[in-house]
Structure formats: structure tokens, C-alpha cells
């Protein structure tokens, strides 16, 4: 996950759309559940009230049959977290409501009063759909749902044309409402995403900050442990950085840090996790690499960084490498071991790579 937010720009329209749909599911989930409960209650009230207004060919218990599945769908939606599951449950709710409307319209085709609730569904449900596919499916269900009561009953063509016109208006209104709401929510999503990125990244280098790095690294190590894959961590420190700031000013120091971070990005893979830990210190988590491979990567990084020129000579780094060896070693412990190896590289003369195993071997001797 190196250069996390920069790599997003390359992967990313698809990733951003998926993240946006998840965002919508989190934001709209409670509303979808509440609307399902309201729809269930409204259906029950309408079915019971219709017995006092007109007679029906079906007994009331049969017309109330959709209530139980509607309640089950609403209860399931409350626990649903996946956007696709939430959309499918919402579509099932619309299908059950359309079936219920048809049940309550049996024996009352004259005047087609049962069509009116069907006209409300597109507009009432326009705010809950998370993606384009579920919106289109919902509009098709809303348009086709009342057709059985219209086509199978004794109804004239004038009322059928009226239904088509009114349904067309309802769907167009739903489309406009959804388009404006989607634009507003997407702008809000982008703003929140930018604010999160600014809170989690260093303003100067654009790299992750320490706390965010630790959070993502914990998650990555947990997944690597489950997959039984190795991981290593590099701890890098720019050499003689205080002298650069003292002799040439902080602007020169900032320029060196920006150049260093640029080299680190170029040398990192898409699965790596890169952060500015503090000051002139950086950390790089390398999933899937053992200690020997990580040391070779560190040496390539050191050589690449030397090509950057400071006002007082080439930019050099001291690198400590530590391999995650214990089954549940924390990222803090791994970072501490890499930090110790980096300090050993400083003591041995800087501009070099030292692994934690090398340092431990020296202490044993």
C-alpha cells in the first residue's frame, strides 16, 4: 500500500465507486430500515381500512399475508451491512408491496383505485437506492407491478393510458430526485474523504502519518498472519539532517524530505505501506518479503536515494530492517526492532543497511 493515496488515483475510479457505495450503505442503512417499517405499517393500515370502504373478493387475513415477509425483510435489513444485500432486500420489499397491492385490488378493478399506491412507490423509494442497477430494477418493478390488475381486470383503455402517463411522471420525478441527491451525497463523500486523507497524511510529503500507518499496518499484519505469509519492516532515517537544516535552512531540509519521499514512492510496490514516522524518519512495511529479500530492497532504496543531491552533497539514509517472526508480533514491537537496527547503522557510520538479525548475532558474539 505504498503511496496509498497516490496509488488510488491510478486504480481508482472503480475503487472509489465501491467505497462510495459502501459509504451510502452506512449512511442510508438506518433510513432504509425505517422506510421498510413505515411501508409495512402503511400496507397494514391500508388493507384494514379498505374493508370499511369497499368489499373485496379476498378475506382480510389473506390480504394481510404479505405483512409477515415484509417484517422479516425489514428485520434482516437492520442487520445487513453489505451494499448488495441491502439493495436486494429493498427490491424484495418493493416486490412484496406490489404483490400486496395486487391482492387488495382483486374484485375491485372498476375504477382501479388500487393503482394509486403503486404510483407512490417510485417517488417514495427514490432516496434509498445505492447504485444504478438497483434503481433501474426498482423502477421496472414499480412500473410493471400494477399491470396485472389493469390487464386482467375489466378496465377501459382510457384508465390504462392514465396509468402509463402517471407512472411515467412518477418515474421521471424519481429519477430527478435521485440524480440531485446522488450529486449532493457524492460531493459530501468526496469532501469527507479529502478531510480524512488530510488528517491521515503528512502535509509536506503526502505520506501517511504515524497513527494511520500503525492502524493500517496492524490490519495488514493480521491478514498476513492468517495467510501465513512473511513481512518485513524498514525504518529509514536521513543522515546528517540537522546539519542540513542548521547550515542551509529549513527550506533545504524540506526539499530533501520531499525528494526522499518521492524516491521511496517510486521504489515501493502497490502492496507496500509507506509513512513518515516523524521528522526525517520513515517506515516501510513490506508484505510477502522475507528478511533477505527486504535487505535487498533496502539496499536498492539506499542506492536510489544517493542520487538525490543536497546542497552539501548526496542525500544518504541509514536503514534498519526487521522481519516479523513471531506469530502475533505487534507492529509496535516490529517497529522498535527496526528502529534499533537503524540506530546501529548510524553508529557504524551511516549510509548503510543493518538488519535486526545481524545486530543480534553481533551481540551474541
In three-state secondary structure terms, 86 is helix
For residue 312, CA distances in Å to 87, 128, 144, 250, 274 come to 61, 61, 76, 14, 27
Distance, CA of 142 to CA of 137 (rounded, Å): 9
Per the residue annotation, which of 6, 19, 82, 280 is the catalytic one? 280
Q: Which three cell numbers stand for residue 170?
A: 412518477
Q: Which three cell numbers stand for residue 316?
A: 544518504
Q: Which residues pair with 353 in a beta bridge?
A: 319
Distance, CA of 89 to CA of 71 (rounded, Å): 11
Is 344 catalytic? The answer is no
Do residues 235 and 276 make contact, with C-beta atoms less than 8 angstroms apart? Answer: no
Residues sharing a CB contact under 8 Å with residue 14, sequence separation 6 or more, in sequence order: none
Distance, CA of 271 to CA of 11 (rounded, Å): 13
Residues sharing a CB contact under 8 Å with residue 155, sequence separation 6 or more, in sequence order: 109, 110, 112
Range list of β-strands (E), the chain: 231-238, 273-278, 281-287, 309-310, 313-314, 317-323, 353-355
Do residues 263 and 302 make contact, with C-beta atoms less than 8 angstroms apart? Answer: no
Distance, CA of 312 to CA of 144 (rounded, Å): 76
Backbone angles phi, psi at 228, to 5 degrees: 55, 45
Q: Which are the catalytic amino acids?
A: 280
Amino acid at each position: 500500500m505504498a503511496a496509498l493515496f497516490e496509488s488510488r488515483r491510478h486504480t481508482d475510479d472503480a475503487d472509489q465507486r465501491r467505497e462510495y457505495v459502501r459509504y451510502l450503505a452506512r449512511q442510508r442503512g438506518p433510513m432504509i430500515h425505517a422506510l421498510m417499517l413505515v411501508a409495512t405499517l402503511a400496507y397494514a393500515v391500508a388493507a384494514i381500512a379498505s374493508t370499511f370502504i369497499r368489499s373485496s373478493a379476498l378475506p382480510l387475513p389473506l390480504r394481510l399475508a404479505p405483512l409477515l415477509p415484509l417484517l422479516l425483510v425489514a428485520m434482516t435489513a437492520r442487520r445487513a451491512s453489505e451494499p448488495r444485500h441491502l439493495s436486494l432486500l429493498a427490491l424484495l420489499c418493493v416486490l412484496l408491496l406490489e404483490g400486496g397491492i395486487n391482492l387488495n385490488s382483486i374484485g375491485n378493478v372498476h375504477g382501479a383505485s388500487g393503482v394509486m399506491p403503486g404510483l407512490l412507490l417510485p417517488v417514495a423509494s427514490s432516496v434509498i437506492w445505492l447504485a444504478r442497477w438497483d434503481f433501474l430494477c426498482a423502477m421496472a418493478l414499480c412500473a410493471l407491478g400494477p399491470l396485472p390488475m389493469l390487464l386482467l381486470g375489466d378496465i377501459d383503455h382510457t384508465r390504462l393510458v392514465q396509468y402509463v402517463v402517471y407512472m411515467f411522471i412518477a418515474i421521471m420525478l424519481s429519477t430527478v430526485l435521485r440524480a440531485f441527491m446522488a450529486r449532493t451525497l457524492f460531493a459530501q463523500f468526496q469532501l469527507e474523504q479529502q478531510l480524512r486523507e488530510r488528517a491521515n497524511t503528512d502535509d509536506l510529503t503526502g505520506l501517511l502519518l504515524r497513527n494511520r500507518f500503525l492502524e493500517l499496518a496492524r490490519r495488514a499484519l493480521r491478514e498476513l498472519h492468517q495467510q501465513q505469509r512473511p513481512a518485513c519492516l524498514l525504518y529509514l532515517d536521513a543522515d546528517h539532517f540537522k546539519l542540513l537544516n542548521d547550515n542551509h535552512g529549513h527550506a533545504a531540509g524540506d526539499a530533501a524530505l520531499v525528494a526522499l519521499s518521492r524516491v521511496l514512492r517510486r521504489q515501493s510496490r502497490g502492496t507496500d505501506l509507506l509513512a513518515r514516522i516523524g521528522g526525517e524518519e520513515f517506515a516501510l512495511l513490506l508484505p510477502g518479503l522475507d528478511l533477505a529479500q527486504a535487505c535487498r530492497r533496502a539496499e536498492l532504496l539506499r542506492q536510489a536515494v544517493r542520487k538525490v543531491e543536497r546542497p552539501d552533497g548526496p542525500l544518504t539514509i541509514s536503514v534498519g530492517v526487521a522481519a516479523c517472526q513471531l506469530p502475533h508480533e505487534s507492529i509496535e514491537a516490529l517497529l522498535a526492532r527496526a528502529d534499533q537496527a537503524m540506530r546501529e547503522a548510524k553508529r557504524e557510520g551511516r549510509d548503510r543497511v543493518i538488519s535486526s538479525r545481524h545486530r543480534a548475532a553481533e551481540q551474541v558474539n
